[in-house]
Every structure is written in structure tokens, then in C-alpha cells.
Structure 1
Amino acid sequence: MALAFGDGDFERARRELDEPELEGWELFTETMGVKIYRLHDGETGLYEYKVLGVLDSCAPELCADVYMDLAYRKQWDGYVKELYEQDFEGQKTIYWEVKYPFPMSNRDYVYVRERRDLSVGDGRKVWVVLARSSPDAPCAEKSGVIRVKDYKQSLAIETDGGSGLKVFMNYFDNPGGMIPTWLVNWAAKSGVPAFLTDMQKACRKYSDYCQKK
């Protein structure tokens, strides 16, 4: 299997932490010290999102560790129905089923991801995590669960110079099925800040979690 990501993919995410590419993007909402931008995708009618800002009281390396820890994610993310990692042709592939509110069907994802801790001079360090759907991975679809086949996410974080972190996130998925517009808007406007809040709480509790393992 070819490598999922190249050096240029990581460098692109790192650059956007400094100088986000926002031409054509609209400011969707601002909350919790972060701004959420969106870009309409003419082919799908959906939006791609970028999240920029600062999160207080969360060190970047700790945040990256929490973000990568799938077992811990099942502890703190109430939307996770199933989440595990498997090996496919020498590459780690993740299966993730997400709970959707009744009467909608749950969605599941099969994707690859990679983390790199980049040193970019003068002692500066940036943590980058990339993920994208992996439709070739042999993971059978479940009855009653809709497979998300078009998904990508990139995350770049570094210290804000204090006790928090500076964050850039780029996100798109096509959930398929008939998703009401109000739910899509809610997920972006309310769901993203809620996820960031949960992440901050998870970071604070991670040390205790690791000691109990």
C-alpha cells in the first residue's frame, strides 16, 4: 500500500497554523476563542470547515497524545459507538462508528491517520495529525449503518506561549443519506465547540486515566 501522506501534506497543515488559507471561505461562527470558517463544496452541496484559535489550559503534546489514544477516546467521547485499530497491508487502519440521534442511522468510518512531531527551528515544535478515509481497507459494512467514504481531517497545534495551545483544524466529511440542514449547521456551530470542551476536560484527566491502566 502506498503511503497515505507525504511530507508536503504535513508541511501544508503546519503552514496554515501560521498563515491560514482563507480566500473564498466565510466566517461561520466564533466561540471559545476559536473561529470556524466554512467553504461550500459545489459537488456535494456540503461545507468544508477550518477551525482556528487558542485553547486555554491544554499543552500541545498532551493534546496530541489524547487525540491519538483511541482507548481513552471511548471513555470521554459519548458519540463513539465502536472504535478500534487494525493492520491492513502494514498500515494502521481505524474503524469508527458514530452515534447519530434517532431516527437517523449511525455512521461509520474506515480511515488511516498519522502523527508527526515537527521541529521547525529556534526550538519551535508543531504537532500535526492527518487522517483520511481508506475505502480500500477490507472492513465489511454493517446493516443499518451508513459508511462515510469521503472524510479528511488535519490538525496542527503548538504552544501559545503560555499554558494553552494554538490550533488549526481542517475538516470535511460526506455523511451520506438525508441529513437535515439544521443538523449539519448544529454540528458545526455547536458540536465543534462541544468537542473542544470535551477535549480540554479529557486532557486534564489523562494523567489519572494513564495511572489507572
Structure 2
Amino acid sequence: MLNSRLHLLTILLFFGILVAAPNLKSQNIKDATNWDLVTDKKDMQVFTHKNQETSIKDIRITMTMHAAVPVVKEVLEDVEKYSDWVYKCEDPERLQTVSSKEFYYYVRSDMPFPASDRDLIIHSFHRIDPATGIYSSHSLASPDFLPEQNGVVRVRLFESYWTVTPNQDGTVQIDYRVRTDPGGYIPTWIVNLGISVGPVKTMERFSEMVHQTTERVADREDE
């Protein structure tokens, strides 16, 4: 049961890959300070932060990798492939494309008995600043986009930000921040434990996905 709960939180932490949305004054984590370092690897750091909205900690991940911003953008916007790199993610589906910079998508987590399934609907906006080349996205759950399903807990609190900044040496600096509450009964200590487990695996797979995409882009350019 512990593993299934960690599984759930890991998925929820990364569902809102690209999103953006209206104001959420009381839930803006973009400018949060006083982050506590919980994992420090060679090119990746994971931080947590206490907030006043929920007992579940916010999470922040910073990472440096060799990549071009357009390649990172391609990976982040390919919803159907999220299950290839987001740890334990299943059946991501794009629901509606509003424009080249805006879309909705859905993810459901099929949880083992007796835990109830969770689902999450995300509204996504994203852009590249033409002056700086910085890619940014802001994520927010859109729980009322579709009717709720019987027996499934709709996640109503989710906000995340991605910022991808190009460096002169051919690397990019990634800053990812997220706040969520999976709803229903999951002990807070289990949820907070989960935020220090899944993120590392997810970002390691993300780095691999970016590398593979970089190679495919290079092959296309050589043809």
C-alpha cells in the first residue's frame, strides 16, 4: 500500500507538465523562497517548501543538461509520450488543442484496491520569449472541464511552472516547481515522503528522452 501511495503522488507531481492559467493568488509558487534541499546529485537538485495552503510540501527541481530549448519544448509538449518518461504515468490524452500555445489534457491513475483512482485535467499555456530564448509554462488543474466519474477522485489542486533557460555553453538550466494535493485520504507523511522519491527518476528519464529527441532532430537535419 505504501508503494501505491507513493506511485500516486509521483504521478500527480508531474501530470501538469505545461499549463498555464488564470490567477491563483493564494497558490502562486513561482516566487516562493526558503526552499530546503532534499536531494543533491551531479546535475540535479530537489527542494521542498512548506506552504500555507496545504500540509503537503511544494517541490522544486533544478537541473542542467546539454540540449537546445526547442528540443526540450518538443518533449514537454508531446503529451502522448509522457508515459515514456514520467514515472508511473499511464494513458495521458490530449483533450483539446486551443492554439499552438494552449491545450487541455487528461490523465487518470489506476490505483490498487482499496485506494480510489484519481484523475486530473490540465489547461496548458506555454511560450518562448523571443528576446531571451527562455521557454516557460504555467500549469493549473482544470477540474470542471469534464464531468467527474463515479468512483474516481478528481484532483482539484495542482499548479506548476517550468522555466528552461539557454546557456552560452550549449546547456539549458531547468527550473520546475509544483504544488498539489491528491485529495481523499492519504496520510500526509506518506505524501511528503513520495515527493523525494519519484522526481529523481522522472527527471533522469526526462534527460534521456531529451537526448534521444536531440539525436532524432540531428538525423532529420542530415537527411
TM class, shorter-length: 0.7 to 0.9
Tell me what 1:158 maps to. 165
- The verdict on how the C-alpha distance between 1:136 and 1:204 changes in structure 2, with shifts beyond 3 A counting, is same
Structure 2 Cα separation of the partners of residues 89 and 118 of structure 1: 20
Change (3 A) 1:102 1:191: farther
SS of structure 2 residue aligned to 1:131? strand
Letter of the aligned partner of 1:69 in structure 2?
D
- Structure 1: state its 5+ residue gaps: none
Structure 1 counterpart SS, 2:129 = strand
Partner amino acid for 1:152? Answer: E
Q: Please state whether the residue corresponding to 1:65 is helix, strand or coil.
A: helix
Q: Distance in 2 between matches of 1:78 and 1:53?
A: 17
Q: Which residue of 2 aligns with 1:195?
A: 202
Q: 2:80 is matched with which residue?
A: 71
TM-score by length of 2: 0.72
Alignment CA distance shift 1:53-1:76 (3 Å): closer
Q: Where is the strand percentage greater, Structure 1 or Structure 2?
A: 1
Gaps of 5+ in 2: 1-19
Per-residue deviation at 1:87? 3.1
The change in CA–CA distance for 1:23 and 1:154 in structure 2 (over 3 A counts) is closer
Change (3 A) 1:39 1:82: same
- Structure with the greater relative contact order (CA < 8 A, sep ≥ 6): 1 or 2? 2
- Distance in 1, matches of 2:44 and 2:87, equals 22
Let me know the Cα RMSD of the aligned residues. 3.2
The equivalent residue for 1:30 is 40
**Does residue 85 of the first structure (1) align with residue 72 of the second (2)?**
no
- Per the alignment, residue 41 of structure 1 pairs with 51
**What TM-score, normalized to structure 1?**
0.75
CA distance in 1, matches of 2:42, 2:107: 27
